[in-house]
Chain A
Amino acid sequence: MTLRPDLALIARTVTPGARVLDVGCGDGALMAALRDAKQVDARGLEIDPRNVAAAVGRGLSVVQGDADTDLATYPEASFDYAILSQTLQTTRRPDRVVEELLRIGRQAFVSFPNFAHWRGRLSLFWGGRMPVTRLLPDTWYDTLNIHHVTVDDFRALVKDRGWTIDGQWFLKGDRETTHANANLFAEHAVFLLRR
């Protein structure tokens, strides 16, 4: 089974045997990969009951819940990594969610589509329309993504809160791309943070 590029990147980086909380774990693809390849003790939080059922069916421990409200019930430093992949832009308060991730996990992976990618800029600049792209495929009125964010916006938030960046990766399609001008050229960003 091939993992989504950002998940494959996270899976490569997680240390074997770690304790991991995957927030917004979907059907558990990353958790299953981490368990099978790296003997990771993985737990999940997922809002869609069909996804929870699918993940439980894989023998994973997944709790149905909402990242905006339910992270508070996990104790301090109970995981080595907390992972939030392609979910940040759907939360009501992304800053508070990341704050919780860094409370629960020693480190946190956060991955999100970069809204400042040049294709989106062109769409808005020349077409005057909200961009609809491969990574942001929904139209503005039916999208779950309520807080669009760019690489530079996220860096600014990290700086403002005094978090430490332990790693950052930028993706174009399924390939890693250069850090230079990431805000313009990256379709997708993955950050590894520490408090």
Chain B
Amino acid sequence: MASASFPDDNRFGLRRQARLPGPLRLDSGAALGPVDIAYETYGRMDADRSNVILICHALTGDQYVASAHPVTGKPGWWWRLVGEGKPVDPARHFIVCANVIGSCMGSSGPASIDPATGEPHAMRFPVITIADMVRAQAMLLDHLGVDRLRAVIGGSMGGMQALSWPTLYPERVESCIVIASTARHSAQNIAFHEVGRQAIMADPNWRGGDYYADGAIPSAGLAVARMAAHITYLSEAGLTEKFGRRLQGRPENPNGSKTFGFDADFQVESYLRHQGLSFVERFDANSYLYITRAMDYYDIAEDHGGSLARAFAASKARFCLISFDTDWLYPTAESRLIVHALNAGGAQASFVELSSPFGHDAFLLECPELNRVVDGFLTGGRA
């Protein structure tokens, strides 16, 4: 296969950042510019540029989809799906994954420096939406010389972006894979996010978002937000299997015992505290506020006169939706709503509910069926 040869093109590769002049018109009416976007690319673009796959990340994800995270040193967050010999394979595909705007891993967000003032934007950063994130991704693809996407793939919030792509840029998307996601945020979803935001804003270190100067960050609030959210990513069966009511072992008592106090007696408490603490080392509290807000505002039907079917009317894309039976954050019924809308519009849609004990997090975990479906969908019809 002929590959376009860009060996010296510094737009491509790992740990890239582009400063795009903008302005990016936002749903709120504000304009953002310049727009910084941090991203990674894997593989090589075909000469006809027909093998481009865009991966969209979830709330606290990042651009390091298939390479080690610079802060935690952990493997890329979707290494099970993206990599050599995996369904999304740099040997066959040119893969792009960008950090969403509003986030804190190098894309423009509350933690980045406002060139107009030389100070962090903090809460002066404009409120953004899922569609705004997608428009910023489109700007990046323009910068990379990519017109059409062979596929856009995302799970959870990444699925929201993937689903928004064919509604905003119908002529640029050939296929769309939406995993463990939804076409709108439910009242329950919004409620959980509000708990997290209130925990952050109640932290005395938050100080209206202006905490960047002295390093005293609202870590307690952010950790609580993460702990609450983390529960929604798991299933009761999964939690019970992993922890049950087992007590936390201590050096003097390896089997654990009740302290009749408020230490982390139960293993599940200790697990959640660890999740919260490790999260504050890699994520910015203000970014958490902005991105959860973007998800809450997300409602594709509302953006198209209340009709989900109408949102996809201009698109010729093939769709593949996947849900997990123990996911109660974005349950199967949410995916079915999208499938029904796609059927009503005569779109080519596939849907499957996979079985997993791991709840919403299943899309990030070992699931051979998930890989089989994604691989089959990507290669299918192109024998």
B-binding residues in A (CB < 8 A)? 43, 49-50, 52-53, 55-65, 73-75, 78
Supply 27 A–B pairs (Cβ within 8 Å), ascending by A. Answer: A49-B352, A49-B353, A52-B350, A52-B351, A53-B352, A55-B350, A56-B350, A56-B376, A57-B376, A59-B380, A59-B381, A59-B382, A59-B383, A60-B350, A61-B349, A61-B350, A62-B352, A63-B339, A63-B343, A63-B349, A63-B351, A64-B351, A65-B351, A73-B339, A74-B343, A75-B343, A78-B346
Chain A's nearest CB lies how many Å from the CB of B371? 10
With A43-B348, A63-B339, A75-B344 in contact, is A56–B320 under 8 Å at CB?
A: yes
Task: Give the interface SS of chain B, mostly helix, strand, loop or mixed.
Answer: mixed
Chain B's nearest CB lies how many Å from the CB of A139? 27
Question: How long is the Cα–Cα vector from A62 to B375 in the complex, in angstroms?
Answer: 15
With A49-B354, A63-B349, A63-B350 in contact, is A56–B377 under 8 Å at CB?
A: yes
Answer yes or no: B186 CB below 8 A from chain A CBs.
no
Query: Is the beta-carbon distance between B350 and A49 smaller than 8 angstroms?
Result: no
Q: Which 9 A-B residue pairs are closest in the complex by CB-CB distance?
A: A59-B380, A57-B376, A59-B381, A73-B340, A52-B352, A61-B348, A63-B351, A64-B352, A56-B350
With A63-B339, A64-B352, A64-B353 in contact, is A56–B373 under 8 Å at CB?
A: yes
Query: Is the beta-carbon distance between B373 and A53 smaller than 8 angstroms?
Result: yes
Question: How long is the Cα–Cα vector from A52 to B369 in the complex, in angstroms?
Answer: 11
CB-defined contacts of B382 to chain A, threshold 8 Å: 59
Q: List 17 additional A-B contacts (Cβ < 8 Å) besides A49-B353, A53-B352.
A: A43-B348, A49-B352, A49-B369, A50-B369, A53-B369, A53-B372, A55-B350, A56-B373, A57-B376, A59-B382, A60-B350, A61-B349, A62-B350, A65-B351, A73-B339, A74-B344, A75-B344
Chain B's nearest CB lies how many Å from the CB of A46? 9
Question: How long is the Cα–Cα vector from A152 to B350 in the complex, in angstroms?
Answer: 37
Question: How long is the Cα–Cα vector from A55 to B352 in the complex, in angstroms?
Answer: 11
CB-defined contacts of A62 to chain B, threshold 8 Å: 350-352
Q: Mark B351-383, 1 if CB is under 8 A from A, else 0.
A: 111110000000000000100110111011111
Chain A's nearest CB lies how many Å from the CB of B354? 6
Q: Which residue of B lies closest to A43 (CB)?
A: B348
CB-defined contacts of B376 to chain A, threshold 8 Å: 53, 56-59
Chain A's nearest CB lies how many Å from the CB of B104? 36
Query: Is the beta-carbon distance between B344 and A60 smaller than 8 angstroms?
Result: no
Question: How long is the Cα–Cα vector from A75 to B346 in the complex, in angstroms?
Answer: 8
Question: How long is the Cα–Cα vector from A55 to B372 in the complex, in angstroms?
Answer: 11
With A61-B348, A63-B350, A73-B343 in contact, is A49–B380 under 8 Å at CB?
A: no
Question: How long is the Cα–Cα vector from A73 to B339 in the complex, in angstroms?
Answer: 9
The answer, among B344, B373, B383, for a CB contact under 8 Å with A73, is B344
Answer yes or no: B318 CB below 8 A from chain A CBs.
yes
Query: Is the beta-carbon distance between A56 and B383 smaller than 8 angstroms?
Result: no
The answer, among A57, A60, A65, for a CB contact under 8 Å with B372, is A57
CB-defined contacts of A61 to chain B, threshold 8 Å: 318, 348-350
CB-defined contacts of B352 to chain A, threshold 8 Å: 49, 52-53, 56, 62, 64
CB-defined contacts of A57 to chain B, threshold 8 Å: 372-373, 375-377, 380
Query: Is the beta-carbon distance between A56 and B380 smaller than 8 angstroms?
Result: yes
Q: Which residue of B lies closest to A58 (CB)?
A: B380
Question: How long is the Cα–Cα vector from A61 to B317 in the complex, in angstroms?
Answer: 12
Q: Mark B320-352, 1 if CB is under 8 A from A, else 0.
A: 100000000000000010011001101011111
Chain A's nearest CB lies how many Å from the CB of B130? 25
Q: Which residue of B lies closest to A75 (CB)?
A: B344
Chain A's nearest CB lies how many Å from the CB of B321? 9
Question: How long is the Cα–Cα vector from A63 to B323 in the complex, in angstroms?
Answer: 12
Chain B's nearest CB lies how many Å from the CB of A187? 33
Q: Which residue of A lies closest to B382 (CB)?
A: A59
CB-defined contacts of A78 to chain B, threshold 8 Å: 346
Considering the complex, which residues of chain B in the window 276-293 have a beta carbon less than 8 Å from any beta carbon of chain A?
Answer: none
